[in-house]
Structure 1
């Protein structure tokens, strides 16, 4: 695959082109509603996220210095930066996010932290916009349950993975066993299996990171049944 990335001096204009994945992707310098942007930045930079996104999770991913990895729903890049350090110097991390304001923050943070092996990608609610057949691993940290269009999203993720590539979902459990409280922002293992197995993925295993949180591991299946709509739709 031939890939190039250029950055303008002002506005952090990102131009990414893949000759395998034909669409040319742009990170727009346009800023939307100021209140919404501030909310997004505060939400993704809140102190508790450091605890939620622990080093234990990174260790369990079994990363190597030459891997190509994607963080889908990257926010401001907290996880992406940790991944980038693990796969350096020869590996690369693609940070896919639907909010351009958060992508600009990733560019700023990467520059401040001198992290050079991150590529920001502007996604849509239906497409992660990742190059095809490139990734060893794709991770979604407390993101998949928020996906409004699972079928086209999973199609894009599956095409992006290499043969036997892994898709990792980090999701809070529907019931926190330490509090016995239901949380709307959750995804059960059974629901994740239902949706992903019907859309080209093989369930590998689940790891309990915390009493309230699972790591659900899937692998790209080369042949799969016709996709079905999610029961969430």
Structure 2
């Protein structure tokens, strides 16, 4: 749909994902607040990487909720599993996805979000078709992507997306744009309904 697909970040990128300055640069709590997560929900973190967001969300869903940390890279999932074991976190479950399927049960997820991941999906339409099937009625998808419209966002162009492109691609995959949250310093947060 008129853009280059970026390469997937491998396990070597785990240290970059967990860098201390990420808190000040990206303000992840603003993302989490905007997602409006409730206790008992099932939240899918697609492209979970090292679990940076998964472990921040786990306390919000509580013991009756679940966080599904999905990645195509088994070594990233091992990092998450080990971290959960060490921290006694039992509501984060790892899921090995494929380039075209996140491997989720139909009608099982309240919210699926991707932080700087969608632009790396090798098969975005196929993946998002599976995501749509996995959402419960009323389920939502949130894409967080670096703003391509903003020249001050110092990220390689292939790793950024415009809001227009995000909406164009997800609309084509059968989603309905609900809102765009504009409070993040570097990224778009675009929310869609099933």
TM-score (structure 1 length as normaliser): 0.74
TM alignment of 1:112-123, pairs within 5 A = 112-123=86-97
Structure with the higher fraction of residues in helix conformation: 2
Secondary structure of 1:190's counterpart equals: helix
TM alignment of 1:35-46, pairs within 5 A = 39-46=12-19
1:75-124 per-position Cα deviation (integer Å, ceiling 9, x unaligned): 01110011111100211010000110010000011112211101100011
Name the residue aligned to 1:213: 187
Give the CA deviation at 1:180: 8.3
Within the candidate set 58, 67, 70, 1:93 is matched to: 67
Structure 2 CA distance, aligned partners of 1:153 and 1:41?
23
TM-score (structure 2 length as normaliser): 0.88
Secondary structure of 2:43's counterpart equals: strand
* Conserved? CA contact 2:147–2:153, under 8 Å: no
1:148-187 per-position Cα deviation (integer Å, ceiling 9, x unaligned): 2111101110011011200000011103354688733111
* Conserved? CA contact 1:177–1:212, under 8 Å: no
Within the candidate set 35, 41, 46, 1:67 is matched to: 41
Structure 1 CA distance, aligned partners of 2:130 and 2:61?
23
Q: Indicate how the Cα distance of structure 1 residues 153 and 169 shifts in structure 2: closer, same or farther if over 3 A, else same.
A: same
Stretches of structure 2 that go unaligned for 5 or more consecutive residues are 1-8
* Conserved? CA contact 2:44–2:70, under 8 Å: yes
Q: Which has the higher contact order (CA 8 A, sep 6+)?
A: 2
Structure 2 CA distance, aligned partners of 1:176 and 1:101?
33
1:172-209 per-position Cα deviation (integer Å, ceiling 9, x unaligned): 11033546887331111111111111111000111113
Aligned CA RMSD, in angstroms, stands at 2.0
* Conserved? CA contact 2:171–2:177, under 8 Å: yes
The number of equivalent residue pairs is 185
TM alignment of 1:1-233, pairs within 5 A = 39-51=12-24, 52=26, 54-176=28-150, 178=152, 183-220=157-194
Stretches of structure 1 that go unaligned for 5 or more consecutive residues are 1-35, 221-233
Structure 1 CA distance, aligned partners of 2:80 and 2:61?
18
